[in-house]
Amino acid sequence: TAGIVRTGLIGSGIGPSLSPALHEREARALGLPLRYTRWDLDELGAAPSDVGELLGRARAQGYGGLNITHPCKQQVIPHLDALSDDAAAIGAVNTVVFDDRGATGHNTDWSGFRDGLLTGLPGAARDRVVLLGAGGAGAAAAHALLTLGTGHLDVVDVDAGRARHLADELAARFGATGAEARRTAGHGRDELAAVLDGADGVVHATPVGMAEHPGLPFPSSLLHPGLWVAEIVYRPLDTALLRAVRAAGCPTLDGGRMAVHQAAEAFRLFTGLTPDPARMLAHLAEL
Ligand code: SKM
């Protein structure tokens, strides 16, 4: 019997996730019966290492696919039958699609950031960019920037070793051919001011600005005219950083666009239907 499309999200502490509302509202707008269910590890009493078993259960229940979030984006990989090239390169999966070929892993975080940047800051220069925060979200944004042709990316993290590790990985993947030896460098927090000076834009990918981590990730005195700032946090949609950047007259991109575009691409992979990101963005603003 033609049924409802079943999808969902596996992760820890996902109660506040807006994915169920975003996906279900878009499906309704398209006339598609779809249910998006939270599979919260904490509520299921499951460990991150149970992700393979949970995938099997969802598949047996006829799911079309699942989003995967913290802390399972890496751990899910050994349980998949195939990986998209980008997910393999980034080393993280946020979308799994079930079909007759098995379970295939994708990463729509990087394409979500790319599409958010292209639509939210069209025409912005991105030759020199600073990435603040070398965690998973930062790695996805970095992949997007270098794919889009950013000439030089400085990765900054409180943990300088983590910043260098990501920069090294990116250099191996996106190494420049020819004169310029490499396109990425890693730095500790004390080098932020130096690398911001002369940058076209900065991507903020640390948790600062979320309710549990209030405040500014760096003083607004480090902003300079024309420097754009892209925020990855989307809860709240308006952060102290974005307010400070707007007050300084600099262009901003909030985290809502990445959230919407990663969801839109996952929705397309799950359903084969093309969602309307503008409508999803309007939905997000109402949530
Ligand atoms: O990658 C996304 C994921 O697809 C959904 C999500 C959420 O609903 O909180 C967060 C991100 O990890």
Write down the domain spans for the chain: 5-107+259-286, 125-250
Count helices and strands (H / E) in the chain: 11, 12
Q: Which two tokens stand for residue 118?
A: 């292209």
Fold of 5-107+259-286: Rossmann fold (3.40.50)
Going from the first residue of the chain to its last (287 residues), give the mean pLDDT of each consecutive group of 10, the final group possibly shorter: 87 95 98 98 97 98 97 97 97 96 97 98 96 95 96 96 96 74 90 96 95 93 96 91 97 97 98 98 93
Residue 5 has phi, psi (to 5 degrees) of -80, 130
The CA distance from 60 to 138, in Å, is 34
Task: Mark whether 144 is an active-site residue.
Answer: no
* pLDDT per position as a tens digit, 219-247: 999 999 999 999 998 888 999 999 999 99
pLDDT of the residue at 108: 98
> Atom 10 of ligand 1 has which residue's CA nearest to it?
69
Q: State in Å: Cα 263 to ligand 1 middle.
A: 8
Q: What is the pTM of this model?
A: 0.95
pLDDT of the residue at 1: 42
Find the catalytic residue in 73, 106, 152, 164.
Answer: 73
Q: What is the DSSP letter of 77?
A: G
pLDDT of the residue at 3: 86
Question: Is the minimum distance from the CB of 109 to ligand 1 under 6 angstroms?
Answer: yes
What would the CATH number be for the domain defined by 125-250? 3.40.50.720
Q: State in Å: Cα 7 to ligand 1 middle.
A: 13
* pLDDT per position as a tens digit, 161-183: 999 999 999 999 998 655 556 79
The CA distance from 45 to 65, in Å, is 21
**Residue 260: closest CA among 223, 242, 287:** 287
Query: 174-190 burial string, b = 16+ CB within 10 Å, else e?
Result: beeeeeeeebbbbbeee
Q: State in Å: Cα 223 to ligand 1 middle.
A: 30
The interface predicted TM-score of the complex, written ipTM, equals 0.99
Question: Is the minimum distance from the CB of 252 to ligand 1 under 6 angstroms?
Answer: no
